[in-house]
Amino acid sequence: MMDILITTPYDKEVCEIGEITNKIISLETVKHTKSSLHKNRDIQCPNKKKLVLPGECVLDKNDKDRFLKGGGLYEEDDMFYACILGRVNYINKLIYVEPLKGKYTGSVGDLLVGKIKDISNDKWIVEIGSYCRAYLSISQTNISIFSQRIRLYNDVINMIHIYKPDDIIACEIQRISTDGTIILHTRSSIYGKLSNGVLIIVPQTLIHNQKKHIFVFPCNVQIILGMNGYIWISSPIKKSKDTNPNSVDQNIEENKFEDVDHTTRKNITIITNIIKLLVKYHININYDTINKIYVHYTSNTNNTPSYILKPYVADSYLFNYIDKFVSSNQSWAANSTQ
Amino acid sequence: MLKYRAPLPHFNCKSKFDKIYEENLNNGSFKRINNRKNNEIRDMFIKLGEDENFGSSCFYSLGNTKILTTVYGPNPDSKYATYSKGKVFLDVKSLNINTIGASDRQRDDDIKSLLIECISNIILLEKYPQCSIKIKCLIIQDDGGCLSATLTCISLALIKAQIQMKDIIISININSIICPVTKKMYHLVDLDGMEEKYYQSKYEMNSITLGICLNLKTVCFYHGTGSFFNSKTLAEITSYGECACKSLGSEIKKVLKQYTKKRIDSIYQKVNVLE
């Protein structure tokens, strides 16, 4: 039998960790007691806006009964743990962890810009930058001027002529099935194949949900802000005057590819670079921001389209815009106080 | 010409290591050959980044052991993934070109399957049906403790990739040696390559790689080699390693939160101004 002498140098640290844990528990108990004094108990969430790592306890059994489990959480041993790096947030009784950055997860009704990847049977496989697979069925597209007819076998054979691989399309999410598959549709004249422009991909957290996602700038440039972070910048689509929105526009069908003049190309390039600039500084992308920077930038006729991407030029235009916004905001606040 | 000859060392000269060895034998204490304490970890460096293919990466160095991990995905995969769960693919490559002797292929495959099983159980694969997650590890430099550094690096890369997982994995390497004269057992944390070779030749040594979930307080990875394992020594080594992992994990968690909070505040400051 060996005579073994063991010392563990971490004994002090284990005691310290225990003491810290006891302090944290007591503080949270006091917090919980304080929150129970409020009449409306739903106002107080114990861990609001707290940054959590995977595995951290968000709600224990004392608070678990008052909340519903949302995204970014999992339940184990009667407690809610976070499973992503994010911030705790809540809506009424729903508590969830808001991720800092992530891939696009679909919502029904979102306008998307996607890329046709493949054709299989009677569906197109669309790449939308998500981890769910996305399908566009032939019965969800408009295939002729006289719509609303049964799809025949010849239509399935001729799918390559409607959308071929590597086409860029605008579409909408119709349904999300139970296994996470996204079903798309293009049953409108504003959806369909996109042409005469460029596609840029930005993080999808910079594009927020709003009423409109298709804008036309005064400089004859159209922009489509897809909810999945894909942005299409092109010359505007020509439309006939009397058009049923649920059918195919004949002028759109006939004017697919056309020559874009030099001025419009330059404007498309400037707006593309402005969006790249906003992405670099993690600023939300919307029409007003882009339009203001564009007007301010093109007031000087000597500026070339790529000049805005130089660091000092970008900083000066952005901070000039921010200063204007802050000053106008302060004046508005001053007026409200008066 | 005799006076220009180089002087020879005297007959009882001892090297630095031999001096430390004799000092350890004479005294009751133990001293490491690189002047670290028994519970001291090497310098740690972590860098999280992302590349242009929507992947996330982590560079993790512990002394001279350097690991680079890239995580791609989750991506739709109709070929390998099952209907209700995702699947994890792991690829480990080494740039170590000064290996003495050929490495054991069978042992590497066993360790790789252990790693895949560990990571597959940590990631919530039920939330990614019909998807696959590809993890690529590149061992840039191996100076001891390579397996534990790889596991920690994979865990940090998965956090950066925003993949839903149960907990952070913190892994560390513990070596136990027995002094042949005094029969005392010493536990050393995080040996480097030179120490491993030296102690293996001088003493009888056990080596344990322990990975724990930091907040759930469970062991998720356990791998060991050695010759004098029994229940008593295993319990002591495991508790020692658990304390070391907790200390390392609390430090990593604190630094990661500070870094992320600073980054969030700088981003949200601009966003709030514009909105």
How far apart are the C-alpha atoms of A214 and A191, rounded to whole Å? 11
Alpha-carbon gap: B225 to the closest alpha carbon of chain A (Å): 20
Using the CB atoms, write b or e for A272-305: b if 16+ within 10 Å: bbbbebbbeebbebbbebbbebbeebeeeeeeeb
Domain annotation covers residue B128? yes
Instruction: Please give the structure tokens belonging to residue A149.
Output: 């007819």
Question: What domains can you pick out in chain A, each with its CATH number?
Answer: 47-99 (2.40.50.100), 101-193 (2.40.50.140), 195-251+258-337 (no CATH)
Q: Which of A219-233, A324-338, B56-70, B176-190 comes out lowest in average pLDDT? A: A324-338
Please tell me the distance from the alpha carbon of residue B62 to that of residue B42, in angstroms, as a whole number.
6
Which residues from chain B sit within 8 angstroms of residue A74, using beta carbons?
Answer: 124, 164, 166
The backbone region for B162, taken as left when phi is positive above 0, alpha when psi lies in -120 to 50, beta otherwise, is: left
Burial of A21 (0-12, 13-18, 19+ CB in 10 A): exposed
User: How many CA atoms within 13 Å lie on the side-chain side of A290?
Assistant: 30
**Residue B211: pLDDT above 80?**
yes
- Please give the ipTM for the structure prediction: 0.78
Name the 3-class secondary structure at B250. Answer: helix
Please state at what angle helix A11-35 crosses helix B231-274, rounded to 10 degrees. 40
- Confidence bin at A256 (pLDDT 50/70/90): low
Q: Cβ–Cβ contacts within 10 Å for residue B141, how many? A: 15
Residue B33: inside a domain, yes or no? no
- pLDDT for the residue numbered A306: 84
SS3 B49: strand
The mean pLDDT value of chain B amounts to 80
Inter-chain contact A99–B162, Cβ cutoff 8 Å?
yes
CATH number of the structural domain spanning residue B164: 3.30.230.70
Read off the amino acid at residue B215.
N
Q: What secondary structure letter does DSSP report for A83? A: -
Question: Phi and psi (nearest 5°) for B34?
Answer: -115, 25
Contact assessment for residue B172 and residue B241, using Cβ atoms and an 8 Å cutoff: yes
H or E element in which residue A218 lies: none
Whole-number pLDDT of residue A235: 85
Q: Which of A129-133, A140-144, A288-292, B114-118 has the lowest mean pLDDT?
A: A140-144
* Cβ distance of B164 and A84 shorter than 8 Å: yes
- Asked whether A44 and A35 are in contact (CB, 8 A), the reply is yes
The shortest CB-CB distance from B236 to any of A6, A11, A53 is to A6
B154: Cα within 13 Å, side-chain hemisphere: 29
Is there a domain that residue B1 lies in?
no
Q: Does A322 touch chain B (CB under 8 A)?
A: yes
If you count them, how many residues does chain A have? Answer: 338
Question: Does the pLDDT value for residue B26 go beyond 70?
Answer: yes
Interface test with B, best of A3, A10, A103, A327 (most B CBs within 10 A): A10
The token pair at A56 is 């951290």
Name the residue in chain B with its Cα closest to that of A325. B274
Nearest to B253 among A53, A81, A281 (CB): A53
Q: What pLDDT is stored for residue A325 in this prediction?
A: 53
Coil, helix or strand for A216?
A: strand
Q: Is the pLDDT assigned to residue A294 strictly greater than 50?
A: yes
| Alpha-carbon gap, residue A213 to A204, rounded angstroms | 14
Decide if B183 is inside a domain: yes
User: What whole-number distance in Å separates Cα of residue B159 and Cα of residue B71?
Assistant: 10
Q: Pairing mode, if any, of strands A79-82 and A51-52?
A: unpaired
Query: What residues of B are in contact with residue A129 (Cβ under 8 Å)?
Result: 54
Is residue B265 situated within a structural domain?
Answer: yes
Average the pLDDT over B214-243 and give the result.
83
Give the pLDDT score at A233. 92
Mutate to test the interface with B, among A15, A59, A83, A321 (most CBs of B within 10 A): A83
pLDDT of the residue at B270? 46
pLDDT at B275: 40
Q: What is the pLDDT of residue B130?
A: 78
Is A131 within 8 Å of B73 when comparing Cβ atoms?
Answer: yes
Task: Kindly indicate the confidence band of residue B135, based on its pLDDT and cuts at 50, 70 and 90.
Answer: very high
Query: Hey, are the CB atoms on A179 and B83 less than 8 Å from each other?
Result: yes
How many CB atoms are closer than 10 A to CB B242? 18
Say which amino acid occupies A107. S
Question: Which residue is it, tokens 């870094």?
Answer: B259
Q: Which residue has the higher pLDDT, A224 or B81?
A: A224
CB pair distance less than 8 Å for A179 and B38: no
Give the residue carrying structure tokens 């106080």: A337
Average pLDDT over residues A211-231: 88
If we measure between CA atoms, which residue out of B225, B35, B58, B62 comes closest to residue B143?
B62
Question: B185: which strand partners?
Answer: B178
Contact B130 A85 (CB under 8 A): no
Strands A134-137 and A182-185: parallel
Three-class HEC string of A15-46: HHHHHHHHHHHHHHHHHHHHHCCCCCCCCCCC
Tell me: pLDDT of B180 over 70: yes
Residue B152 has a pLDDT of 92
Is pLDDT at B41 greater than 80 in this prediction?
yes
A chain contacts of residue B184, beta-carbon cutoff 8 Å:
4-5
**Total count of domains within chain B:** 1
Q: Does residue B10 form part of some domain?
A: no
Is A282's CB within 8 Å of B264's CB? no
State how far residue B239 is from chain A, nearest Cα, in angstroms.
9
Phi, psi values for residue A325, rounded to 5°:
-65, -45
Chain B: nearest CA to A10, how far in angstroms? 6
Nearest CA in chain B to A324: B274
Domain, as residue range, for B108: 42-271
β-sheet bridge partners, residue A225: A231
Cα nearest neighbour of A134 on chain B: B76
Rounded Cα distance, B143 and A195, in Å: 55
pLDDT higher than threshold 60 for residue B140? yes
Phi-psi region of A220 (alpha: psi -120 to 50; beta: other; left: phi over 0): left
- Cβ neighbourhood burial of B38 (10 Å; 0-12, 13-18, 19+): middle
Query: In sequence order, which residues have a C-beta less than 8 Å from that of residue B150 and are 6 or more positions away?
Result: B67, B69, B92, B115, B137, B139
- The answer to whether residue A9 neighbours chain B at the CB level (below 8 Å) is yes
Place of tokens 């680079």: B68
Q: What is the pLDDT of residue A332?
A: 47
Place of tokens 């900083």: A315
Tell me the chain A residues in contact with residue B232 when contact means C-beta distances shorter than 8 Å. 4
- Cβ-defined contact of A13 to B54 (cutoff 8 Å): no
Within 8 A by CB and 6+ apart from B220, the residues are: B118, B121, B122, B169, B211, B212, B213
- How far apart CA A88 and CA A9 sit, in angstroms, is 36
- The answer to whether A42 and A65 are in contact (CB under 8 A) is no
Q: From its phi and psi, is residue B145 left (phi > 0), alpha (psi between -120 and 50) or beta?
A: left
Mapped onto helix, strand or coil, the DSSP state of residue B186 is: strand
> At A189, is the secondary structure helix, strand, or coil?
coil
- Report yes or no on B8 lying in a domain: no
pLDDT score, position B194: 81
Q: Is residue B175 part of a domain?
A: yes
Whether A71 and chain B come into contact, CB under 8 Å, resolves to: no
pLDDT over 90 percentage in chain A: 6
Interface check A1 vs B, CB under 8 A: no
Q: How far apart are the first and last CA of chain B?
A: 88
Look at residue B188 and tell me whether its pLDDT is greater than 50: yes
B166, A81: Cβ pair inside 8 Å? yes
Cα Rg, chain A, nearest whole Å: 27
d(CA A141, CA A83): 39
Collect all residues of chain B within an 8 Å Cβ-Cβ radius of residue A56. 215
Q: Which two tokens stand for residue B244?
A: 């070391």
Q: Residue A256 has what DSSP assignment?
A: S
Q: Which residue has the higher pLDDT, A208 or B97?
A: A208
Contact A297, A251 (CB under 8 A): no
